[in-house]
Structure 1
Amino acid sequence: MIQIKIEEDLVNFYDNDKDSAIYTIRKAELPITRIENGKKNSEWIAHLMGKTWIEEKDLYKLAVLIQKQFPKNDINWSETFFPVEKRQYLNHVKFTKRLTSENKKPEKASKSLFDSIKIGIEEQNDEVNGKISKIVENNLAKFGLK
């Protein structure tokens, strides 16, 4: 579990068993956004979602921190967290399909990549996206971001 602490003008991320920060963001840079689909999304959530050391719930905690420190930000939290939850969903589907696959032989990297792309395409539909949007909205409400 990651602990997020504001220390002077820095936001430091600590792993439970470490005394020094594993990642740092300047506090003034927290409200930086990027435009996607015409909406302002958090640059930091988008950047950090690809890191292996941070979990989705920690990204929501960072969003709460951003919202508290910069309440007048224009970040669209629903749009920001949709790719986070979609990625988690696709990883779960890929893992489940691998478990239920009859082929128990180790796969080559290229076949695994092709399967990942195929799963991603199969899961691009309104029903799945609607369910993911509901997950995002529930989590935003749970963390007080809605």
Structure 2
Amino acid sequence: MRAVVGVAAPVAAITLVAGCASGGATSDVSIVLDGDVHTLAAHVTCTRFPDGNLLIYASPSATNHRRSVRVMLATTHRLVVTAAGFHIPEGSGFTQDSQEMTAIKVDDAYTISGRMPAEEGRGWRQVKIEIACPGYQRPNGPPDTVPAIGSP
């Protein structure tokens, strides 16, 4: 599934194509930043939380966070990008502004697109992330004990 979002001031484009599995399978992550393509071999995990949030995380290892991509989606009723960010040696970006990012899901393939503030604080980066999550894991630790609104 592909989504196209037009935003003024396209400074950079990021494309991430990865597979998510509960075992954290290795996938190639392709990132296009300022017209340059960068490939990152990463372990990708997709974690579903009891509150309806989905965390998609890609990194070469559990200890190397200098090269990573992280997306948090609210999945109740509709997809909302609550946070998205990436770190690679060539640059980084982060946003928690759900007004600037959109997400589309077809089967278990997610397309996250929009814009993020530039590192220097001036201007914007055009961002597009595509991720397939064929498997999901539950978070480590105790389950959420707070009942959902409207539950008995």
Q: TM-score, normalised by structure 2?
A: 0.28
By relative contact order (CA 8 Å, sep 6+), the higher-ranking structure is 2
Q: Which has the larger radius of gyration?
A: 1
Higher strand share: 2
Q: Give the structure with the higher percent helix.
A: 1
> TM-score, normalised on structure 1?
0.28
